[in-house]
Structure 1
Amino acid sequence: MEVSSWEESVTASINTIYLLFSAYLVFVMQLGFAMLCAGSVRAKNAMNIMLTNVVDAVVGSISYYLFGFAFAFGEGSNSNPFIGTSFFALFSIPNDTYDYSFFLYQWAFAIAVAGITSGSIAERTQFTAYLIFSFFLTGFVYPIVAHWVWSSSGWLSASSSALLFGSGAIDFAGSGVVHLVGGIAGLWGSFIEGPRVGRFDAFGRPVQMRGHNATLVVLGTFLLWFGWFGFNPGSFDKILVAYPNTTDQGNWTGVGRTAVTTTLAGSTAGIITLFGRRLLIGHWDALDVCNGVLGGFVAITSGCSVVEPWAAIVCGFFAAWVLIGLNILALKLKFDDPLEATQLHGGCGAWGLIFTGLFAKEEFVIQAYNSGESGVERPYGVLMGGGWGLLGAQVVEVLVIAAWVSLTMGPLFYALHKLRVLRIAIDEEVAGLDISSHGGYAYAHQEENQPRFYADYVRIQSDQS
């Protein structure tokens, strides 16, 4: 039956509204990041960390518009499977393939990456360094990975015409593209800067530095949970797509299932982290649960559209132990990441990619990447009987992301370190970035008690003079 232009217009309108609404949900995650970060740091650094979250959004907007989208999705004669379109093909939206709503949705993902990295280097980083790495990460490093995996011409893409290992890497909403990229970048930033002053004592034993406001951490977690319903289900960028040879299926079936798998993975990881940490430290901790929930979300983000709900529970179960294990390892190595961003986004992101290679279901893979077309055969999860092609592509994605981000962000952070624009001075760190860099504290009671908070800073400055 021929589809009328009116029906086509209505379909396009509904798809656009759905994609824009999903973009708004993903953008709400910036508020979640801000609250999570603010609550996880000490009060004397709250103003600084909130400012850096705003900077990630505004700087990321400009760099992604000028450069990032062209690298990730730009089309043209110079486009290739490794770096997208030419560096000089800027201002690439809209074009014949993509529209403004698609750009907005992808922009919301791009600025999330910088937010992840900011958490790893919190409480000891100069503001100038945030401006530099945020621009570079969202304008170049992240978009190249997005092109590899999400562009139809990307060499790792599961939608390309030349599928790696006959499969391509399935990273539906970005366990690797977003979270592993942000986690590896944070790893290098935190490693090169070194631990915060006082994080480890003279004998190398960890000293607890709890954030100042658990309420903000919980609020941030729920805002991120809410935003993840745009992050994962929204990655079906068209909700109305006619599947051939079917009357009762379409992208809307995958959208609902994706929301369910996301919820189950996060919830499972949260409860496992709650009891796991209870066994290790001897008491219940709401903050550990929050990180566990987020770790489950990060892990399921790769395979959320292609696995059964029961498999999402398996994903969340192991994500919790990945997070717990990496946190223990970080302490042993004297690695200091105030928000556990490297362990959470990097570790759980890598696990999510491997999980997809183990548990992806063939029917759902065809739904998500071939619009449910009959007669199509694709590799799927090893444990589901689908061969090794998909798992091989997933492992390749983990390795190339780790290598690419290390080769780009590692030298950048090292250069900033050598130029003395990465880490703040010790006396400023002791006093807090709010007073030393921003001229005032985030809370009124701190201003009223400024001499008590400011004493160490004044004393050190006096001694130096």
Structure 2
Amino acid sequence: MIKRFTMLLLLLVLGALFPGSALADDGPTVESNAVAIDTVWVLICAYLVFLMHAGFSLVEAGFTRAKNTVNIMMKNLLTISLGMILFFVIGFALAFGGDANGFIGIKGFALSDIADLDFGIPTYGFWFFQAVFCATAATIVSGAVAERIKFIAYVLFTVVITAFIYPVVVHWVWNGDGWLAQKGFIDFAGSTVVHGVGGWSALVGAWLLGARIGKYGKNGEIRAIPGHNIALGTLGTLLLWLGWFGFNPGSTLSGTTADIALIATTTMLAASAGTVGAMIVTWMRHGKPDLALTLNGALGGLVGITAGCAAVSPIGAIVIGLISGIILPLSVAFFDRVLKIDDPVGAISVHGVCGLFGTLAVGLFAVDGGLFYGGGVAQLAVQATGVVAVLAWSLVLGFVAFKVIGLIVGLRVSPEEEMEGLDIGEHGMEAYGDFMLRSSGVPGLMGINREQVTI
């Protein structure tokens, strides 16, 4: 009792000596607490998305040959680092910094002159979350062009996609005043905005580069080039799966909404269904369940649900994920066998094709406005408009960027460097210096110089 009286007396004295400070009622409020919780939530989710870059690195390295591992790790490290800087200086302004005509932002370069923009959380927190998304779109390209692109060419394309190609699409969809947002286009966490941009840019790059040496025979027959470490690919997939719980629930930008529970649930169910779907297809087609394609099936399910994770029911999520998983191996076979486009990690199918399907699926499975829920075809038509627009933008801008870069520095390493491995030619070092890498005859590669298929 005496202690309480003494404390009260002390506060009264302080209040008399320093009016307006000791007894001021400026403590936390309900509103400020909500902002604090939302900010912490968004940052934690951003850290999870950042962790996805470790997943991308491991998947890409595991699905390709040992002689290119340093190059792959370097590209992924460079993507996140360069992407952060470019999105800070240029990209964020084009994406979110005001609106001129629904097409592109006009202010906020280096986060300046944006005092009038309200993101619900501190601007730095919002920027951080959006920046790791930007880097994710860019790193998708790395896998599809692996094992034959010049490092400097990849660096220059990373500049273009993070500073311009991706931010403009973000403005269309996520700025609020963007022309697709005004039409009611739904892409909650980026099946098209992130994965479509990355996947279709990857398609252009892989097509222009051409296939790896030894991938196709003189008569067009396909020769498998196995990755060197499927365990790395599995670990990378699981890290990506974990990071997706930052990717999708974090896009609420709020830790005080119950929606994050539904979004986490739909994300988990779609990924699981995608895994099962891909496994069943490969088992039926090849007589045995293929782990590499099944891992990509999990990623396909994740990409597929990303657009509608907040708009569909858990049952709808399972269906979307299952179909994405079924589509995945069929898409890989189409690009490989029909179009003869060499994509070492299946990035085009995982991110481009499954992203396209997932975005359209919102028009079918959205509880509010979906065709299967009595909403008619209006939402599906809007979704199709957005998909076509982003696909065209990514293909055209990607083509122009790769072509110009090719004229300036060239796109592809020399045949000799490709056969030796990009680790030595591009970086002067090896990932496995303590191991003797050996040439290995791979079934189906008879008649090719064994150096061409060094693992």
TM over 0.5: yes
TMscore range, shorter length: 0.7 to 0.9
Select the residue among 327, 331, 337 that pairs with 1:322. Answer: 327
Alignment of 1:116-265 (within 5 A): 116-157=140-181, 163-164=182-183, 168-240=184-256, 251-252=257-258, 254-265=259-270
> How far does residue 309 in structure 1 lie from its aligned partner after superposition?
0.3
1:251-290 correspondence runs (5 A): 251-252=257-258, 254-290=259-295
SS in 1 for 2:110: coil
**Partner of residue 244, structure 1:** none
Whether 1:415 aligns to 2:434 is no
Segments of 5+ residues of structure 2 without an aligned counterpart are 1-26, 442-448
TM-score, normalising length: structure 1: 0.86
Partner residue in 2 for 1:344: 350
How many angstroms does 1:417 deviate by? 2.7
Contact 1:192 1:417 in 2 (8 A): no
Instruction: For 2:377, give the aligned amino acid.
Output: W
Per the alignment, residue 95 of structure 1 pairs with 115
* Post-superposition offset of 1:73: 0.5
Alignment match, 2:77? 54
CA distance in 2, matches of 1:457, 1:64: 43
**One-letter amino acid of the structure 2 residue matched with residue 128 of structure 1:** I
Does structure 1 retain, via aligned residues, the 8 Å contact 2:363–2:383? yes
Over the matched positions of the two proteins, sequence identity in percent amounts to 39
Selected match of 2:102 from 56, 81, 91:
81
**Structure 1 moving runs of 4+ over 4 Å:** 448-453, 456-459
Post-superposition CA distance 1:2-35 (Å, at most 9, x none): xx96222111111110010110011110111011
In the alignment, the residues of structure 2 paired with residue 100 and residue 436 of structure 1 have an alpha-carbon distance, to the nearest angstrom, of 39
Q: Deviations over 1:303-328 (max 9, x none)?
A: 00010000111101211222122112
* Alignment partner of 2:340 out of 334, 338, 349: 334
- 1:147-176 CA-partner distances (Å, limit 9, x unpaired): 10001111111xxxxx32xxx111000000
Deviation readout 1:57-100 (Å, 9 max, x if unpaired): 1111111111100000013xx633101225xx522356332411
Paired residues in the alignment total 414
In the alignment, the residues of structure 1 paired with residue 35 and residue 264 of structure 2 have an alpha-carbon distance, to the nearest angstrom, of 23
Q: What TM-score results when the alignment is normalised by the length of structure 2?
A: 0.87
Q: Is the 8 A contact 2:308 2:358 kept in 1?
A: yes
Amino acid in the other structure paired with 1:199? K
Instruction: Tell me the C-alpha RMSD between the 2 structures.
Output: 2.1
Kindly indicate whether the alpha-carbon contact (under 8 Å) linking 2:297 and 2:326 is maintained by their aligned counterparts in 1: no
Equivalent position SS for 2:309: coil
Q: Note the alpha carbon deviations across 1:307-353, whole angstroms, 9 max, x for none.
A: 00001111012112221221121122211011110111000000001
- 1:365 maps to what in 2? none
Once the two structures are TM-superposed, the CA of residue 415 in structure 1 deviates from its matched residue by 2.2
Aligned AA (1:434): D
Give, in whole Å, the separation in 2 of the partners of 1:19 and 1:316. 25
Question: Offset of 1:444 from its aligned partner?
Answer: 2.5
Runs of 5+ consecutive residues of structure 1 not aligned to the other structure: 158-162, 241-250, 363-379, 460-465
> Which has the larger Rg?
2
Instruction: Work out whether residues 364 and 370 of structure 2, in 8 Å CA contact, stay in contact via their aligned partners in 1.
Output: yes
- Contact 1:193–1:417 (8 Å) recurs in 2: no
Equivalent residues in 2 for 1:329-408 (5 A)?
329-330=334-335, 331-362=337-368, 380-408=369-397
Using the TM superposition, give the Cα deviation of residue 223 of structure 1 relative to its aligned residue in structure 2, in angstroms. Answer: 0.3
